[in-house]
Amino acid sequence: MTNESSYDVVVVGGGPAGCAASLAASRNGAKTLLIESHPYLGGAATSSLVSPWMTNYHGDKQVIKGIFQEIVDELVKYDGSTGTLKCPYDELGKTQGTGGHITPFDAEVLKFVLNKLLLESRVEILFNTSVGSVSATEGKVTRLELKGKQEQKSVSGKVYVDATGDGYIASAAGAEFEFGRKEDGLTQPVSLLFKMTHVDLDMFIDYIKTNKEEFVWVTFPELPDDLPRHFAQQMVAVTGFNALVAEGQKSGELYLGRERITIFSDFKKGEVIFNATRLNQIDGTNEKDMLYAEIELRKQMMSLVQFAKKNLPGFQNAFLGPAAANVGVRETRRIMGDYLLTEQDVLKGRKFPDSIAKGCFPIDIHSPSDKKNRWTELEDAYDIPYRAICPKKLENLYMAGRCISATHEALASVRVQSHAMAIGQAAGTAAALAAKQNHFTRDMNVPFLQETLKEQGAII
């Protein structure tokens, strides 16, 4: 038996972009449904432990607020975050690895906070539910067939928001998309993040301070004076140990897909986050590839845990802590929209008359073909235009998150979660306005949308 329900706005994907879109749509008067395949919200932040959130600042100027800031403030209330922290560097104008600011958070508290905010805003949520098929005709999505734990269900909406990360709804409805970089179609590698606990952080930081030549970059985030005493009283973000990694890989002691180790200490005493595993040439939309990645990356994780306990200062009595439930995917389909955000748009900090959000994270390309990284600073924060969230050939669907219309290089900036939330707020607000006025996405009164976003705390 199949039940059928109708909504003003249907959002698919309960990650950072989808949660922001759902909150914005419902708060702007739309009857809103959020569909999520996991039994919890948060996407990459919770299922893949992608933490901390990267910068929402360019230099010392905050350029992303709105729902992102609201979520951060809620996390702070429940001891789930320090708030956003500035990350100073020895070399002026450099922000490697962080973009200049980070926002540490607790994934379990985030699950609670997102539930709380969405339920308070009267968003209807479907957990453990995936989209089986997409019906579309004459450039309009008409229906989604859902698969849950029990009965099948069919839902329809006036307007849809694709926050799946993979652009599944848009592509299934016939939207054009690109995949990977131009020269060979390869996407950025996948990674599995994990934590280690019971680390002697004082010993680790002391070693870093006296051996800075061993590191590609290092920063000590500035902590607020009123930080609770049960939080860590010093933090570090660092990448390096290149010589040690090379030696371990040569001897066979270390199995790792990178040439260095990147570590962010957490705000919880004795905990650190490793963003150090890597696997190239994986299609994040291919089940066989992802099965291989889940197995291989856990091999890398366990090898690195044992290597760290033996070789990294302060890790001798440490343990493996929480590990990501799902491999983190940086890039899959990029849905082609009415405007394609380019590398130069991002690097030059270009402005657009139809801006609906800002981006500020440097271009960070984890090479799809070797173990290296390319990091390029931005001249200024850039605008994300409304046209970049409107897929070609579709009239009642918006993209939100890393599936928006951008080149491989531009996506290397816009993909981070702070940006996904800003885009999600814009897409959800636009969806509510379109549904309320019974018009298509290309009929949007963009100046009115911009004013609405600004009134609700967004920076455009």
Residue found by looking up tokens 């060979």 in the block: 184
Torsion angle defined by CA atoms of residues 11, 14, 16 and 18, in that order, rounded to the nearest 10 degrees: 0
Residue found by looking up tokens 């309960």 in the block: 14
Phi then psi for 170, rounded to 5 degrees? -60, -45
Q: In 3-state terms, what secondary structure has residue 374?
A: strand
Beta pairing, strands 85-86 & 130-137: unpaired
Q: What is the pLDDT of residue 152?
A: 82
Q: What is the pLDDT of residue 286?
A: 97
Q: How far are the Cα atoms of 74, 168, 235, 325 from residue 77, in angstroms, in the given order?
A: 5, 35, 20, 26
Q: In 3-state terms, what secondary structure has residue 152?
A: strand
Alpha-helical segments (H) within 280-406: 287-311, 343-347
* 84's tokens: 């956003």
Q: What is the pLDDT of residue 2?
A: 57
CA–CA separation, 172 vs 181, rounded Å?
A: 22
Yes or no: say if 78 and 113 are a contact pair by the CB < 8 Å rule: yes
Residue 298 carries which side chain, given as an amino acid letter? R
For 24-36, the DSSP string reads HHHHTT--EEEE-
Helices vs strands, H then E, count in the chain: 11, 23
CA–CA separation, 334 vs 203, rounded Å?
A: 43
* 197's tokens: 């606990």
Residue 29 carries which side chain, given as an amino acid letter? G
Return the number of other C-beta atoms located less than 10 Å from residue 451's C-beta.
Answer: 12
Q: In 3-state terms, what secondary structure has residue 380?
A: coil
Q: What is the pLDDT of residue 1?
A: 43
Successive 10-residue mean pLDDT values, the chain, 460 residues: 84 98 98 98 98 98 98 98 97 95 98 98 97 97 92 93 98 97 95 98 97 95 94 97 96 96 97 97 97 98 98 98 98 98 98 98 92 93 98 97 98 98 98 96 98 98
